[in-house]
Structure 1
């Protein structure tokens, strides 16, 4: 019987030369196009490197990559934008999305650097909407490039 994957067993690891191949091996489900591929996301992060506000990283369970996450710090509004959360097919329906979000929320609160977290999802992505709602995110009424923005006040 497999042990429950708690937030304590999940770690966030910066992407570097040692785990780059692990990062780009994470693929979204074939029938799902809600989240940009990891390589595209890493290219976007590279574009913002001078700002130092975009952080791509791996969510790992006991050292094994289970998801790709990318955040964007909006310093002027003290908001952390969860820009990307890609969970590959082998990690879906195992509660990882919820646990990763719980850990992001806890770390953001603990840091004291943020007043809120924001994220967005493509209309029709019922699973994302359900998970974000369950975690306490509330729709702002705004759209970002057609995506519904949700906010969690810390």
Structure 2
């Protein structure tokens, strides 16, 4: 997966510049200690666990750090189903495994910019769709993803509602 470190959106008074970068041995400490707001802690795993999981599950999973104006602000895990032989039914899909924005950075449009980057990455990769799921009780996440064009599929996967955004 080729990654552009170019800003996702130009900095404005209300919207900071967001960049997305692969998480590596050299920069993981900048992202591993970020935390969501306490009320969201049951909806997303801690970053240390996310990094361990993505590294245990092979090359289909990739971890990315989200920065705003150079400051670590969040983390994103993507799953390229084309690289997973066990995912033949979802083989043309880029899956958003995790998205988290640090509590101190929330409410600034960073998640929206990060998801715009994901959609562009999916287009660059040529996948049919971007997919994700969220905890059923997290209605805020559902509203957020719907506002970006994602739609529910009707599928429930491990207690989470599945959503797709077609790219083709």
TM-score normalised by length of structure 1: 0.89
List aligned pairs for 1:125-140, cutoff 5 A: 125-140=138-153
- Among candidates 14, 38, 41, match of residue 50 of structure 2: 41
Q: CA RMSD in A?
A: 1.5
Contact 2:14/2:108 (CA < 8 Å) preserved in 1?
A: no
Report Cα offsets for 1:88-131 as digits up to 9, x if no partner: 1111111111111112112221332x110100111121221111
Distance 1:44 1:145 in 2: 16
Number of paired residues? 148
Report Cα offsets for 1:11-58 as digits up to 9, x if no partner: 211112322111111112122210111011111112112xx1000110
Contact 1:5/1:61 (CA < 8 Å) preserved in 2?
A: no
Distance 2:146 2:22 in 1: 27
Distance 1:46 1:18 in 2: 15
The reply on whether 1:86 has 2:100 as its aligned counterpart is: yes
Q: Point out where structure 1 has 5 or more consecutive residues left out of the alignment.
A: none
Distance 2:154 2:39 in 1: 28
Contact 1:10/1:60 (CA < 8 Å) preserved in 2?
A: yes
Q: Point out where structure 2 has 5 or more consecutive residues left out of the alignment.
A: 1-11, 83-87
Which residue does the alignment assign to 1:97? 111
Distance 2:26 2:55 in 1: 18
4+ runs of 1 displaced by more than 3 Å?
none
Offset of 1:148 from its aligned partner? 0.2
Distance 2:148 2:80 in 1: 20
